[in-house]
Structure 1
């Protein structure tokens, strides 16, 4: 255990009420977990202000409180530490508590609207293929070497994150690959972390329910790169016009990857089939079971990051060809009767467009592409009509359905999606609110050679309706129906 003064060396303390240097046993920002020897960090959330729980934390035994506003009443025996931002301070306090684990391994963060999960997961798997122990922090799952830890957020809170990194270091991991969400940057969940490198995938309109404007969303992504140190690397997608924005004023070593532009790491799609792609990366050819140009971009980003970590080029290329697609990302299911179903997490207009483009490049002209898609409730409503428009533009038939409506009425969401469909195109669109029935209907409509895309939920194994989560897996429903054919 450490003394309080050791924790304070990384903080910009504005004011301190009370004296002493007590021994600290743990940190918390949840007053229900508070106890003697704890530091209680009063966090301002979107719905609850932790400052209101300071008395409860003190009653539970906390003798140290970190806050942005010192209470009017300050009982004797309690030390109050005022800072400008308690969320940022929590990151540094947690880093100190766990002995700065991010400085003891190579931490690579990946940010962007689409592709984050695929890239961090493939980097984690690639490290394993090359014999390196590593950790993973992603939307789908977290891993400490081979031990899985359930994921609840794309990027966990700072205290959980630092604790998990400590587990990785203690398990002998030399690397960690982590998704960095825009929320995590704005909420300072990555404060106190030292990154060996950062990767920018792309940026499209998303999360405007939280950030309100695209500029604010862009600024959040850029905030990650602005924080990289000069001995780190910053790898950006040259095909996205905002890739260069990420690198502006970034102190890290600048590198780029591309499908279309001149870049440090370039990929070219030689051939694309349902079984996979024949690629050329920086003059070297390889076969991969991944499908779609967007996945070619993901793979060259992985290749670039691997080389920037000083992994051997030939070993990286060999291992890349062995990697399999990530669960729920362009996951293919075939029926005995010759129907192909693809399940993908695509939940933004750009991601949906990429998947549809890939399928249209492969399918035969005489075969239909049937798309089942919805959009989540309590999330960015601006993308709903755009999602429907993208689906209609690139599909033969479209079924609009429920995704995770959460607290919203799913039929209202579908109605908002339908606003993006031109009147002349509505003949090829039907609405089926029940997602199970929508998927089964698509399977019933399909004939030999047709392709079904079920988009939006991907790896998820639940559906959230009116705040209640029930088991739901798009893949299970497709397989159940295909077994009956």
Structure 2
């Protein structure tokens, strides 16, 4: 315990029995670490995190009753337990977890991917390339947890378990929240990847500058290689900042892949003079493939092998995910886009999958209790790219869905302010049904905002809802009606 306290810059306070020189008890040993009293295991160090709504110090007794062996605190508590006192428990949680779990990034290659859009696809694309090249790989991110990036104790535990099982590489989505809240404090990355930065999470970060500064923390020296999209203005700023903190800066841009052909079969083009193709849909995914290829090359995979392995990249659930099949007369896609730039990119790519005279339908909403300033820009983005807008409910949380839809509609221009171009249907299943049943043969329908999510959050309730499942059901009814 004293060694752990020293390693994280804390002060060790021994329990009364250990402080008594006549005591014969052994020094306290730590087995694991937890930040939630409900997940404490015997011998764990319990971090008393002070959060927005709860103070973990109030749950110390509960954690000790559950078997916690020691406490990480910001103030000494009147309890019979070993304590490590630090100025900020949340900030110390990462370094403490790293020590407790034996610095797992020393036992496997860890790659972190950050940016507003593309994190999920890029992490899976890097993993697909690495696996095709013979490296065992695991992905951690949006599709497999409550948080995009797990809290530090969970992250270090999972990384340690992955390394112990023989996994050679872990590719991790690193969110701005994780960076700002210290979830990856104490961690080291073989490579950090930056995709892009656009309007998002300003309810949390307040300004784009603050948002950028959070993302920049991945490149403050904790990433040995910085793989940066210099086609993005923020990426160019990062390249200047990272030059003084990392061993190597690798600059990439979407145009690294040229001669691009996008179709319903996927993407093809040339990367570093080599023909490449993969099953991802949508031209916007060229950037994600370019990021994955540049990262793989920077990590030491031969360029010829990388070019061949790109063929192993397949669509990620909820990311321009095709729900319709060859038997359908319309194309229906589900996408996670829930911010203006991402929605614009998804719609532009979906447009390319239809014919010159087909219509593009956009079914989407916006989350409640989140950044309201992005709603009108989302309406404007859809107005520019889609022929028919159907505004519906996303995850309204405590807000009135009708008010959210009105905020989005305020961004739509004259082309969609009346007539058949704009509809508001707050029942999400009914909105999807309307688009699928009214689309003409050859039209493209994109259902945006929720992607892989399988729950709808309204008020204090979460109810099951999966866009892909709902769309598949309505497509089946359309097929039946055509027979």
Same fold (TM over 0.5): yes
> What does 1:21-100 align with in structure 2 at a 5 Å threshold?
21-34=27-40, 37-58=43-64, 62=68, 64-71=70-77, 74-75=78-79, 77-100=80-103
Q: 1:217 to 1:57 in 2, by over 3 A?
A: same
Q: Please name the residue that 1:136 is paired with.
A: 139
Q: 1:286 to 1:32 in 2, by over 3 A?
A: closer
Q: Write out per-residue CA displacement over residues 433-456 of structure 1, whole angstroms, 9 at most, x where no aligned residue.
A: 000000000011111111111111
Q: 1:61 to 1:242 in 2, by over 3 A?
A: same
Q: Please name the residue that 2:267 is paired with.
A: 277
1:7 aligns with 2:10: no
Q: Please name the residue that 1:115 is paired with.
A: 118
Q: Write out per-residue CA displacement over residues 354-405 of structure 1, whole angstroms, 9 at most, x where no aligned residue.
A: 1111223343231111110111112111111111111111111110000111
CA RMSD of aligned residues (A): 2.0
Aligned counterpart for 1:235 among listed residues 227, 230, 250: 227
The structure carrying a bigger helix percent of its residues is: 2
Q: Please name the residue that 1:454 is paired with.
A: 447
Worse overlay, 181-190 or 309-318: 309-318
The CA distance in 2 between the partners of 1:397 and 1:36, in whole Å, is 57
Q: 1:199 to 1:63 in 2, by over 3 A?
A: closer
1:221 aligns with 2:218: no
The CA distance in 2 between the partners of 1:452 and 1:216, in whole Å, is 36
The CA distance in 1 between the partners of 2:173 and 2:323, in whole Å, is 27
Worse overlay, 102-111 or 60-69: 60-69
Q: Please name the residue that 2:23 is paired with.
A: none
The CA distance in 2 between the partners of 1:140 and 1:78, in whole Å, is 38
Q: Write out per-residue CA displacement over residues 256-304 of structure 1, whole angstroms, 9 at most, x where no aligned residue.
A: 11134xxxxx111432222222211112122222233320010011001
Q: Please name the residue that 2:22 is paired with.
A: none
Q: Please name the residue that 2:149 is paired with.
A: 155
Q: Could you list the structure 1 runs, at least 4 aligned residues long, displaced by more than 6 angstroms after superposition.
A: none
Q: Please name the residue that 2:349 is paired with.
A: 358
The CA distance in 1 between the partners of 2:164 and 2:264, in whole Å, is 42
Under a length normalisation based on structure 2, what TM-score does the superposition of the two structures give? Answer: 0.91
Q: 1:403 to 1:269 in 2, by over 3 A?
A: farther
Aligned length: 463
Q: Please name the residue that 1:263 is paired with.
A: none
> Secondary structure at the residue paired with 2:189?
coil
Superposed displacement of residue 180, structure 1 = 0.1
Superposed displacement of residue 10, structure 1 = 1.8
1:479 aligns with 2:469: no
Q: Where in structure 1 are there 5+ consecutive unaligned residues?
A: 142-150, 261-265
The CA distance in 2 between the partners of 1:382 and 1:270, in whole Å, is 34
1:294 aligns with 2:284: yes
1:184 aligns with 2:178: yes
Worse overlay, 36-45 or 362-371: 36-45
The CA distance in 2 between the partners of 1:454 and 1:31, in whole Å, is 39
Worse overlay, 57-66 or 237-246: 57-66
Q: Please name the residue that 2:24 is paired with.
A: none
The CA distance in 1 between the partners of 2:40 and 2:140, in whole Å, is 27
Q: 1:481 to 1:246 in 2, by over 3 A?
A: same
Q: Where in structure 2 are there 5+ consecutive unaligned residues?
A: 20-26
Superposed displacement of residue 249, structure 1 = 3.2
1:325 aligns with 2:315: yes
